[in-house]
Amino acid sequence: MATQHEKYYVPASSPWPIVGAIGLGLIAFGAGHTVIDMKNETVDGWGRNVLWGGIAVMLIMLFGWFRDQINESMGGLYSPQLGHSYRQGMSWFIFSEIMFFAAFFGALFYARVIAVEWLGGASNNAMTNEVLWPGFEAMWPLTETPGGTTTQAMGWMGLPLYNTIILVISSFTCHFAHVGLEKNNRKQLTLFLGITIVLGCIFLYLQGAEYVHAYRDLGLTLSSGVYGNTFYMLTGFHGMHVTLGTIMLIVMFFRVLKGHFTPDNHFAFQATSWYWHFVDVVWVCLFIFVYVI
């Protein structure tokens, strides 16, 4: 903007966007057919092959696109203004992710405060309860659905609490790694980045253990009614984001080992760290609204 006159880098052309579009197209087509095949219990499995093909194309695209960008960045082609573009772009991306989670939190609140209460006869719905779902009592967690499916609720003590502590600590270690990078203290950077990755992996392992416990011991499954639905969808999508964040952190770790990033040029690291803080904040909301309250 004002007083900036250095040239804004506009790449001449790039094959990666079209490769990415093909990848996403194959993933959408393949995933759609995989789901349909699962429902119809057909086992020829070509939908799955298309899906894996799409994922492979996407990986090639990500590898190629990021390689180009890293080379351009290391080659000094990027101006501070471009850095602003990337940072603003990442911030808006995280905002879109927040809105994605907001849809599922909205479903949780609606189901809990309105849908289940109304089925239980609240507001002016006495006849709904009497006629359609006689004997159903509104409760949360919904351990017995109007249709009669029963389950047990997941408590917040134990694994979920440990996971919260782990993820909150990892947010701090991620921040210390960032501070280390900004002070050009590579040792601090490497150490704390490594710790963050380990904490992320422990979180994912414990989350998996919790799912096993829920399925085996509590009978809490994805189809246990709206309590199980919101539980698995929220924790599941969060888990996917932690997985992605951990992969990003691992990539950053290898780049740090290769000597990438300087105290004032480290967009990729900063974006990863923002993303990590974002999944952490989502988890804290999740812990409060899905587990504790």
Residues 126-185 that bind other proteins (CB under 8 A): 132-133, 142, 145-147, 149
Residues 42-71 binding other proteins (CB under 8 A) are 65
For 262, the 3-state DSSP assignment is: strand
Contact 170/200 with Cβ under 8 angstroms? yes
264 and 237 Cβ atoms separated by less than 8 Å: no
End-to-end CA distance of the chain: 47
Using CB under 8 A as the binding rule, whether residue 262 contacts other proteins is answered as: no
**Is there binding between residue 89 and other proteins (CB under 8 A)?**
yes
| Contacting residue, 43, 75, 76, 99, with other proteins by CB under 8 A | 99
Q: How far is the CB of 289 from other proteins (least distance, A)?
A: 16
Type of residue found at 134:
P
Question: Please, what is the minimum distance in Å from the beta carbon of residue 202 to other proteins?
Answer: 28
Footprint of other proteins on residues 20-39 (CB under 8 A)? Answer: 20-22, 24-25, 27-29, 31-33, 35-36, 38-39
Q: How far apart are CA 66 and CA 72, in angstroms?
A: 10
Question: Whole-angstrom Cα distance, residue 273 to residue 203?
Answer: 17
Toward other proteins, which CB reaches closer, 14 or 184?
14
Q: Which is nearer to other proteins, 90 or 181 (CB)?
A: 90
Output the smallest distance, CB 70 to other proteins, in A. 14
Closest among 234, 210, 227 to 283, alpha carbons compared: 234
Q: Which is nearer to other proteins, 143 or 171 (CB)?
A: 143
Least distance in angstroms from the C-beta of 201 to other proteins: 26
Per this entry, what is the length of the chain?
Answer: 293
In whole angstroms, how far apart are CA 264 and each of 118, 162, 261, 281? 56, 35, 8, 26
Choose between 68 and 182: whose C-beta lies nearer to other proteins. Answer: 68
Q: Do 119 and 146 form a contact (C-beta atoms < 8 A)?
A: yes
57 vs 174, beta carbon nearer other proteins:
57
Q: Which is nearer to other proteins, 86 or 289 (CB)?
A: 86
Q: Among residues 59, 76, 104, 166, which is the contact residue for other proteins, using CB under 8 A? A: 104
Residue 170 in 3-state DSSP? helix
Per-residue exposure over 159-183, b if at least 16 CB sit within 10 Å of its own CB, e if not? bbeebbebbeebbebbebbbebbbe
Q: How far is the CB of 99 from other proteins (least distance, A)?
A: 4
What is the total count of residues that contact other proteins (CB under 8 A)?
75
Please, are residues 157 and 287 in contact by the beta-carbon 8 Å criterion?
no
Q: How far is the CB of 29 from other proteins (least distance, A)?
A: 5
Q: How far is the CB of 79 from other proteins (least distance, A)?
A: 11
Q: Which of residues 230-249 bind other proteins (CB under 8 A)?
A: 233
